[in-house]
Amino acid sequence: MARTAQVYIVSLFAAIGGFCFGYDTGVISGVLTMSHFISLMTGGGTTLSALQTGTITGLLLAGCFVGALLAGPSAEHLSRKRSIILGSFVFSIGAAVQCGTNSYGMMVGGRAVSGLGIGMLSMIVPLYQSELAPKEIRGRLISLQQLMITTGLMVAFWIGAGCEHIDSEASFRIPLGIQIIPALILGVGAIFLPYSPRWLISKGRNDEALVVLANLHANGDKSDAYVVQEYDDIIRQIEHERRVSVSSYLELLKPGLRRRLILGILIQVFQQFTGINSIMYYAPKIFTQAGIADNSATLIASGVNGVLNMFATLPAVLYLDRLGRRMTLISGALFMGICMLLTGIVMSATGRVFVDATGSKAIDMSGNISASYFCIVMIYLFVAGFAYSWGPVGWVYPAEIFPVSVRAKGNSLATASNWLMNFVISEIVPVMLDTITWGTYIFFGCCCFIMSICVFLFFPETKGRSLEEMDLVFSGSIFAFRNKDIAFHDDKNAAGQTFEHRSVEEGSLEKGAAAKDQY
């Protein structure tokens, strides 16, 4: 079967939304330390209060939470494509307000508006990618979202580092303004992207959906075997959902969908409780605790951390559909847990906890250079472990497990929970670092081990399965490791008709592997 590169191009272009997400999240940490920005925000002062700093960062997260919730009905009614356009322009407005800010209130307002746009894009882009992607490479294409997030974080860091030496307000206006460019590119370019074929069929626009499928997967050949089967499967699934009235938020609480909603929310909550944002938000302080005292050295260490985060995401893009979601999540959680525990143990054994001038506890490891370097290496390895596992799969899994009629609603709730926990982590980590110091790493290490157990017990494998087959993937035991043989979709039969037994987690994937080789 002939394939085109169009599905890759469309998915990668949509992932610019992830770049906007990563850039705006990363740029503010550098801006908050710039003297000209502080002077403008405080009316000539030299430091931002904790309340001001917390509000500037926190309102973005609040906006993201609301934006993710609004994205659900928007994606259902306006379409996935138009919602991407809307989110891009909302984000552009917020970025423009930040760039042109002349007061603290204006800055805070811009952050909130940007958050609405980011929240929408963080939900809709993976959803859109999942509905375009063939099952054999769906994980790869959705992982592009995480790759672009990490790219945005890295670019934001180095642009901020380059602009901090500018002796004018341009030092913060340039990095804040640059983010408008990718947002406008996405907003304008998305006009030319195809609609989701599943959304088109759900709205009765079947002929348009067939054209989209043919263009994406067969160079426009509407008679291609893959296109015809995918088209028929989507129609059968949507007709089945209409018969059982699967369309409202309340349906997500019914037994058939409640399990998927819980798992979708849990994987997003767990993603935050790996501790990754404690590392990314507070990297300078963490590297200082680990023994890097010089400011420029801390800056470089943080920058290398961002570069590593981006490049370590590449294995997920290349191999996630081969390794599977379960193995990737479990191995990543165990790897991160070991890194966090070793960091905490070495810090506790070799560091000296003292009370600094502000009354907060800090840890001094300057007396043991080897231990300091060991902790820094463990932090780097932790970031790499997250980048190949929970970073991408945290977006992939919720975007693929819900039926099409409630996919936007379910993914919206899951993504909103991510932003809520992001806010919680951003609030508690500074307190933890100031009170229990090395105990922070022990805490997150234990969380990672708990997460690996939960994935083993409860999260079924979804690799190689079409979105229309997810009802069957989740029809087995609540204990995922027991689902060796359950009813699985036969290529010639519709949902609710004749099925053949295949393994959900360990079954033969010769057909899927053959299809993957054609990409």
Across the range 292-316, mean pLDDT stands at: 80
User: Would you say 94 and 107 are in contact if contact means Cβ atoms under 8 Å apart?
Assistant: no
What gap in Å lies between CA 175 and CA 101, rounded to an integer?
A: 13
Q: Which of 47-56, 184-193, 241-250 has the highest mean pLDDT?
A: 184-193
SS3 state at 179? coil
Token pair recorded at residue 85 = 């356009």
What gap in Å lies between CA 509 and CA 514, rounded to an integer?
A: 8
pLDDT tens figures, 57-70? 889 999 999 999 99
pLDDT tens figures, 369-428? 888 889 888 989 999 999 999 999 999 999 999 998 899 999 999 999 999 999 888 888
Phi-psi region of 44 (alpha: psi -120 to 50; beta: other; left: phi over 0): left
Average predicted confidence (pLDDT) for the chain: 87
pTM: predicted TM-score of the whole model, two decimal places: 0.88
pLDDT tens figures, 167-197? 999 999 999 999 999 999 999 999 999 999 9
Token pair recorded at residue 244 = 């059982």
Higher pLDDT, 5 or 451: 451
SS3 state at 254? coil
Burial class of residue 500, CB neighbours in 10 A (0-12, 13-18, 19+): exposed
Across the range 449-465, mean pLDDT stands at: 96
pLDDT tens figures, 321-360? 999 999 999 999 999 999 999 999 999 999 888 887 777 7
Counting DSSP H helices and E strands in the chain, the numbers are: 24, 4
Choice among 47-61, 62-76, 128-142 with the minimum mean pLDDT: 47-61
What gap in Å lies between CA 322 and CA 316, rounded to an integer?
A: 10
Phi–psi pair at 15, nearest 5 degrees:
-70, -5
